[in-house]
Structure 1
Amino acid sequence: MSDKPIQRVGDALERYLEKSGLTDRLAQASVIEEWPRLVGERIARVCQPESVSQDGTLFVKVSSGAWMQELQLMTPEILERLRAEGKKINRIMWRAA
């Protein structure tokens, strides 16, 4: 028998995810699923997150040019909200639909 202490599977998995960098990627990807809660229904109605790059850039499709301009002005506030929720987003790239 091994002298290593028995570990819980959840603890071992958590350590593996952290070491591999997957914890950050999972936090980034969860932004897409949680978007309405994170930014509010009003904003979520006019834009949809599409993807998150490995460097933490969130790509968001916006319904109109006017909304894109408004959201660009709101970017610092939205980033602050995302980071307060533990999301590893470094910047947002808004794209017209």
Structure 2
Amino acid sequence: MRANADGGSDRSEFGGDEGSRKPVALSSIVDKILEDHGVLAQVRRMSVLGEWSELVGDAVARVTRARSVEDGVLIVEVRSSPWLMELNMMKGDFVRRVNDYMPDTPIERIVFVQAETE
């Protein structure tokens, strides 16, 4: 908060005097900033990375890792070639599950890639 010329605080940059403002959720402020910068949808899409195992179930989660979301495309690493082929056949189901989880920011498609071996 800045002090004005007479030593008091200058609240004008925050929307006026404290009595006239209503509380606003921090999440809505962050959403507004992200939206103003054109990245809100991408940030929301990235939430699927942390929810991947819940969305696909234990068996698939053990052999995959959601790696990134780029331009509406979810990139998922797969541990083996047989699983890669199997998951490619089930791709439509996974896209539906992801989009049911985040209907406001749907992904366009999922790309399964072979995980690099160490």
> Per the shorter chain, which TM-score range?
0.7 to 0.9
Which 5+ residue runs of structure 1 have no aligned equivalent? Answer: none
How far did residue 9 of structure 1 move? Answer: 5.4
Deviates more, 1:64-73 or 1:7-16: 7-16
Q: C-alpha offsets along residues 40-92 of structure 1, whole Å, 9 cap, x if unaligned?
A: 11111111111111x11111111111111110111110000000011532111
For 1:63, the equivalent position in structure 2 comes to 79
Structure having greater relative contact order (Cα 8 Å, sep ≥ 6): 1
More helix by percentage? 1
TM-score (norm 1): 0.82
Which 5+ residue runs of structure 2 have no aligned equivalent? Answer: 1-10
CA RMSD in angstroms comes to: 2.1
- 1:23-34 superposed matches below 5 A: 23-34=40-51
- 1:41-60 superposed matches below 5 A: 41-53=58-70, 55-60=71-76
Work out whether 1:92 is the aligned partner of 2:87: no
For 2:89, the equivalent position in structure 1 comes to 73
SS of the aligned residue for 1:45 comes to: helix
- 1:9-48 superposed matches below 5 A: 10=26, 11-48=28-65
- Give aligned pairs, total: 96
How far did residue 17 of structure 1 move? Answer: 2.2
Q: d(CA) in 1 for partners of 2:45 and 2:32? A: 18
| Counterpart AA for 1:13 | V
Does structure 2 retain, via aligned residues, the 8 Å contact 1:29–1:51?
yes
